[in-house]
Amino acid sequence: MSRAFTPYALILPSFLLAAVIVLWPVEEIVSLATHDVNRFGMLRDFVGLANFRSLIGDPDFISSLWRTLIWTAGVVLGTLIVSTPIALILNEDFYGRGLARILIMLPWAVSLAMTAVIWRWALNGESGMLNSALRDLGVMNRNIQWLAQASTAFPMQILIGILVSIPFTVTIFLGGLSSVPDDLYDAAAIEGAGAWDQFRLITLPLLRPFINIAFVLNTIYVFNSFPIIWATTQGGPADSTDILVTYLYKLGFRLGRLGDAAAVSLIMFAILLAFTILYVRLAMREEAAT
């Protein structure tokens, strides 16, 4: 085997497998999205963009789209804001740090579907322990049916989303913090920089690439996240907590509107691709500027 071909031979198996499993469904989805499809998945006439047009006229689609943006922005920004101080603390030396790390990483180890099923029970109106905990703390004096209406269910789902996204984000931040050399802080302390200045002038800039990657990956994961909403409310009541992924699932597997479901897939992918490209551009320009 010639040396020049070696790397290609090495990446070939993984490339082929990922390409077949990822690209073949893409091809299927494109053909579904551009055809009139009956509910058994038979392709009929080529209809161009008609499926997309019918989606845009569907108020459920539009409200799911907005809700997805709120969901993604809420979970990702909430996660980044909460994770930064946690990572800073966990990067310090203190008693019980190992235990603290394990506790905060815990949601990562448990299946999202399981965590969501547990929350569904904890949020139960009469028997749920969140209500009893909040009543014991004197925060409120009557039970809330958390999952019975979107105005309480959706914020709860965002909170759950934040809790389960913290481990991954803290992990990335800790990786970044461990690459910051200690002597920089020592030098800054000698120059008389306080803790806030040290954070602002040293930690934050050096953490920048890690914040960027956490932002991009979290956005992708949260935008595509299905189990939390599906296992707590299945998008209900009356589709009022649907985001694009749950809407897509209902279209495809409950309502048999496969063409429309495929069109939602493509729209979701287009949104993610546009976001990633835009963000990578911005991050690169910023890097070039500094």
Partner 1 sequence: MNRRKLVRSLIFWALLSPIVVAILFPYAVMIITALKSPTEVHDPTWWPHEWRWRNFPEMWQTSGFAPALVNSLYVSGLTTIGAIIVSIPAAYALSRFRFVGRSAFSQFLLVSQMLSPIVLVIGLFRLVANLGMIDSLNALTLIYVAFNIAFCVWMMQSYFSTISRDLEEAAWLEGAGRMRTLVLVFLPLAAPAIAVTAIFAFINAWNEFVIALTMLRREDNYTLPIRVFSLVAGRYTVDWHYVMAAAFAASVPVAVLFAWLQRYLVRGLALGAVK
Residues in region 200-259 near partner 1 by CB under 8 A: 209-210, 213, 217, 220-221, 224, 226-227, 230-231, 234, 245, 248-249, 252-253, 258
Binders of partner 1: how many residues, by CB under 8 A?
99
Among 2, 57, 59, 95, binds partner 1 (CB under 8 A): 95
Among 94, 182, 190, 196, binds partner 1 (CB under 8 A): 94
Q: What angle do the packed helices 112-122 and 150-177 form, to 10 degrees?
A: 140
Yes or no: say if 113 and 227 are a contact pair by the CB < 8 Å rule.
yes
* Binding to partner 1 in span 105-134, by CB under 8 A: 105-115, 117-122, 126-133
Give Dmax over CA atoms of the chain in angstroms.
76
Place of tokens 């481990």: 167
Report which residue type is found at 5: F
Q: How many CB atoms lie within 10 A of CB 277?
A: 10
Span from 10-18, 53-61, 73-81, 182-190 in contact with partner 1 (CB under 8 A): 10-18
Q: How far is the CB of 200 from partner 1 (least distance, A)?
A: 19
Q: How far is the CB of 232 from partner 1 (least distance, A)?
A: 10
Nearer to partner 1 (CB atom), residue 64 or residue 171:
171
34 binds partner 1 (CB under 8 A): no
Report the chain's terminal Cα–Cα distance, integer Å: 44
Among 65, 86, 158, 229, binds partner 1 (CB under 8 A): 86
Give how far the C-alpha of residue 173 lies from the chain's centroid of Cα atoms, to the nearest Å: 17
Question: To 5 degrees, how large is the angle CA 258–CA 263–CA 271?
Answer: 145
Yes or no: say if 258 and 37 are a contact pair by the CB < 8 Å rule.
yes
Among 141, 151, 178, 290, binds partner 1 (CB under 8 A): 178
